Structures are given as structure tokens and as C-alpha cells.
Chain A
């Protein structure tokens, strides 16, 4: 408990310092609970998520960083490796490939990379995975862009 708290506090201070350095990620620690974090990440350019801002929720377990944080999308996203209803993410580093040298910040970076490079062979969202696997990139892109516009962009007017 003390070890994870100390480590999270170090990450907190690092985030304060790096805020300007990585404009695509904005990590915020909960006001009352250092084990709860949220992040706002920018959809990577040249992807159907470009222009969108996506919110992630982090729940950090007590043995952190020996065990990975639980992360999910709070913002709806159409992506083969993200559960459309729950926002659950299928990403190896959040499971068996986790390393205690990862940080919440580097997890955000990995998630941005996943948005740019979906893995249609381990889909949590089958519709989206099937579109990509059948080679219908246009169909996939238009669905993903539609949901980005609907859920991840500030409403105009």
C-alpha cells in the first residue's frame, strides 16, 4: 500500500512537470483518492479518431506497479479491441505483458498507439473487427469516424 502510494505520488509529480511536454495526454488524479485517475487523450492524426478527445478511467490495484492498472474508455469508441458497451480494452500490456516499469503515462501512450494500429484478430468488438478482417477499411473508417463525431467531439452550436 505504501509502496504503491509512493510510486503513484512520484508519477503525479512527473505528470505535473510533463504536462506541457505531451500535449496529447492529460492525466488527472482524483481529488480524494490517489488510486483513481482519469485521462483525456487525443485521437491520433490520420485515423478516424482524429479530432476526438477520449476519456479513460484508471483503477489502480494495491500491488501496483507489480500488477497493471485497470483501464477503460469512458468515451464511446468504435474500435476492434475496445468493448463497445463497457469500454474494456484488450491490450497485452494491461494483462500478461505488463511490466512494473510501465507508468500510467506510458499506458496512455500505448492506448494511443492501439487506436492507430488496431489488432482485428483479438476483437472485443466483433462488428468492427469483422469489417477490418474482411478488408472493408472504408466501412470501418466511416463507422469509427461517425462515433468519434457523435461521442468524442464537443457539440457545435
Chain B
């Protein structure tokens, strides 16, 4: 109702309300600047910490219903105490000022009179006090003895039956009941929680308290419900820090700002644009979502039931190809100049790959073809991510125990496997959104650098995903412990760590708007044996000078 909607005032951020946040507001870049490029993940880091370790400080808290209730009650209690008013009045104030304790304090101490008038907390009756004679209820117009009459602070007389009817009607009209005023049309007096408690039916009261609880989240600028279906947790978010990504206890990750699924490092506008584009193109794209393609060699349909893009046709063909470019997997190195380049739209186009596919020939428009390229990769990573999530779940519920028995290894020492899967899940998410980013990236110089980083990250991820999906299966059916399993551990742990570094570089570069071409290229040197193959080198100078050569 008030005019300050939409303005995030500084008080909200600076108040002492956020003492339950775990950390400060360290810059993201500082937090991991001195991490080595290689180096193995420490065994005792827990799951979520490992995936989140490359994020900025945790700047939010997940609240369960009982936490919400407690926080709400704490805020009410604090306002009541500081302002020396009743908790009922404190609730009225907080409802009016969208649950901002600091805002309530500021307004109240600036001009208590005005605040009282605006929110309807009167200091005394506005009509003459009854002199013992019968009073007329303002709704049913019947006469009552003064002790039968019920009033809020203003003193306007109504009978209990009419109050109950009035309160019940407003509760059933919706959450507006939280801001209820005296039935007298010109009276500003607020009707507080005590009246609902005293006069509403049990059923109505339940509805009222539901609205009251919901208001604490829905009318509060620093709170939001988790958008996952069926989840009843809320997120308390401290604005002003870097990332908008939050992760609920239900495991759903979403963007605080736009409530779409988490999409860091891509910004909300790009995501909104991309999602709109997808729904506009959804009919054209349906066929792409189909999970099978003909083997490029034998033409038999191959179903993609793994997360990694390295496909192997069934025997006797056994042709190994790339799901994305449909070329032989071994071609990747030579054809593309020594590195994985299936992420590159221009390369694929020049190779003439798009002319071969029948479906694509039908697509006359270049723009649709371009969109198709990005959409397919976006969607494939989404599918791969979901697959990895299922794998993780199965790993935790059954496979770990088996592996532990076979290899005589405590489950705690098999954490490198779940760590790898968690890393894959996170990387697929990032990679997926980089395709939306790439679709809207106009600058050609930046594009080269972007595609280089994306390609490196993607090839690392493919190696990791393949290792965990294919090489692990051997050990699941092994007879007993072997040295090979220890080698596998070393390999997988290493791949996990390297992939993590690639993605950190990618995320950092994208969050810098690809401004920092020089330092990024330098830092990727150590993770990549031949820096000279970076075609992005041509764009380096321009990219950095344009942005004043800032560095991290």
C-alpha cells in the first residue's frame, strides 16, 4: 500500500537482523585466487561444501516452517520491546512495513504520531466513552449493554456476533484480512490479532494464521518461497553480495532474483530471453529432444542413455562418435586443431555438417539453424545433468555399499566418486547456461575467447563424465580389490579437480563479461598443455584494452 514498494532501502541491509548469516561479503575473486590449478580434493570436505566451494560466501539461510515462525515471533518481540508497545501492535506495524524491523524503527522514531495514524494504532477512543447506557451495534443496529459490546482502540461499538461475521467475511476474502480496519467506514483503527484470536471460528483462525505466516515470506523483501513443487521451505537472502544462486534443503537450486533454476554465471535477462525464445520455438525443437539419432556409420538408431557425449554404437558396428557433431570421436583432436570443439557453432557450420542432416536442410532459415545449435546443446546438458542426478542417487543408495565390499574400502573413502558426480551435476548446469549465453553473445572477438573457454571446460567435463560412467562399471563387477582401483581413484580425483578449475575459469570469465581476456588466457595456460592453440589469442589485445585491462 505504501509508496516505497520496490525500493530496497539501505536499512534492510545494514540492520542487525542478519546476525544469523554465516559469513561476510568477501569478493568472489579473492576467495579462491590462491587455489592451485591442480591438487586433489581433500577427503574431509563435505558434499555441498565441495560443490559450493568455488562460490562466494553463503549469503542466505533456508528456513523450515518452524524457523519461519520463530523468526517472525522474534521480530515481533523485538519491535514490541524497543517501541514499548504490545505484540499485537508490533505485528500490525510489521505487517504494514513489510516485516522490515529497521524500517519500523526508523519510521516510528521519526514521527510516531504519523505512523500511528497511518497504520491505525490509536492511543485512545475517538468517541466519547459510554456512560453506562445501552449502546447500538454499528452493524445490526440492535441495542446492547456496554459490557456486551466489543471494540478496538477507537471505541466504535459492535456486538460479538457482528464482529464474528465481519472477521469471517474478511478472512474468506483473502490475505487482506491481515490489514483489517474497524467496521466504521471512516475509522482508521486497525483490528489486531487478539480480535481474530477472540472472535474467529477455529477454521477461520487457521486460515488467518496461514496468511499471517505467508505474509512474513511473501511481503518481505528478503524472503522467498522455494519454487520447487511441494517444497514448503523459504529462503532468507542477504542482498548486496555477489551470487543470486541459492540451494534449498529440498536440493532445488534456483536464482533468488528471477526464481528460475540456478543459472550462474549467466544473467537473469539472458535467461528470461532464452526461456521465452524456447517456448516460441518449442514446436520446432520437439524433434531435437528425442533421445535417439541414427548411427552415422550403420544408420541404426542409437539411444543416448548416458550423460557423456561420447557415443558407441552397439556391436558389431561399435562405431564411436560424438553425439553433438556426429563425427568419429577420434576426429576431435586432429580435425579441430588438437582440441575439443563441438561447442563451436561456426566450426560446425564451416565443416558443412549441417548440410548433411536431412532435418536441418529443411530449415531454410539461418537463424533457426543457429538457434538449433545452441538449443540442442543446452537441452543435451540438461538431460545429462538429470541423468547424473539419478546416478548420484543410485550411487548413494546401492552402489557405494557394493563397491565398499568388493574393494574392502570404507564408504567414507569412496567419497571421490560422489564428489565426481556432484561436480558433474554442477558443471552440466553451468555448461547448459553458457549455451544460452553464447546464443546472445554478439561480439566476434569475445565469442572466440568464450568458445575457447567453453570448449576446454566441456572437453574436461566429457572426460570426467565418461570416466565415472564407463570406467567405474568395471569395478562394480570386479571380484576383489586391485591396484587398478587405486589408479582409478587417482584418475577420477584428478579429473574432478581439473574440471572444477576449467569451470571456475569459465564462470569467472563470464561474470567479468569476458573483459579480462589476458589474465584468463594466462590462467588457463597451466591447465592446458599448449597455449598457442588458443585461437582466442587474436582477440586478446582488443578485449582487454577496451575494458581498461582490469585483472582479478
Contacts and interface: CB of A to CB of B under 8 A. Distances in A.
A100 interface: yes
Given A63-B169, A66-B169, A67-B169, A93 B140 contact: no
B169 A99 contact: no
A67 B139 CA distance: 12
A66 B168 CA distance: 9
A16 to B, nearest CB: 14
B138 interface: yes
B88 interface: no
B163 to A, nearest CB: 10
How many chain A residues sit at the interface, stated as a range, is 10 to 19
Interface string B164-207: 01100100000010000001110000000000000000000000
Interface in A98-126: 99-102
Contacts of A100: 138-139, 162, 165-166, 183
B60 to A, nearest CB: 36
Interface in B136-167: 138-142, 161-162, 165-166
Interface residues of B, number: 14
Contacts of B183: 99-101
Contact of A65 (B139, B142, B161): B139
A19 interface: no
A7 B116 CA distance: 33
A141 B229 CA distance: 56
A4 to B, nearest CB: 9
B335 to A, nearest CB: 67
Nearest to B162: A100
Contacts of B139: 7, 65-66, 100-101
A3 B162 CA distance: 9
Contacts of B185: 93, 97, 99, 101-102
B169 A10 contact: no
Nearest to A100: B139
B138 A101 contact: yes
Summarize B's interface: helix, strand, loop or mixed: loop
A6 interface: yes
A6 B140 CA distance: 8
Nearest to A7: B140
Q: Which one of B141, B142, B166, B176 has the highest number of Cβ atoms from chain A below 10 Å of its Cβ?
A: B141
A66 B180 CA distance: 14
B370 to A, nearest CB: 46
A108 B316 CA distance: 90
Interface string A1-33: 001001100110000000000000000000000
Nearest to B169: A66
Q: Which one of B166, B183, B185 has the highest number of Cβ atoms from chain A below 10 Å of its Cβ?
A: B185
A81 B465 CA distance: 67
Contacts of A10: 140-142
B175 to A, nearest CB: 13
A66 B140 contact: no
Q: Which one of A63, A65, A97 has the highest number of Cβ atoms from chain B below 10 Å of its Cβ?
A: A65
Nearest to A4: B140
A48 to B, nearest CB: 28
A7 B169 contact: no
Contacts of A93: 185
A101 B169 contact: no
Contacts of A7: 139-141
A66 B184 contact: no
Contacts of A97: 185
A66 B141 contact: no
A100 B140 CA distance: 9
A151 B527 CA distance: 88
A101 B142 CA distance: 13
B138 A66 contact: no
Contacts of A11: 141
Nearest to B184: A101
Interface in B102-140: 138-140
Contacts of B184: 99, 101
A3 B169 contact: no
A15 to B, nearest CB: 13
Nearest to A65: B139
Per CB-CB distance, the 3 closest pairs between chain A and chain B, nearest first, are A99-B185, A10-B141, A66-B169
Interface of A: 3, 6-7, 10-11, 63, 65-67, 93, 96-97, 99-102
Given A7-B140, A7-B141, A101-B185, 6 more contacts: A3-B161, A93-B185, A97-B185, A99-B183, A99-B185, A100-B183
7 contacts: A3-B140, A3-B165, A7-B141, A11-B141, A93-B185, A99-B183, A99-B184
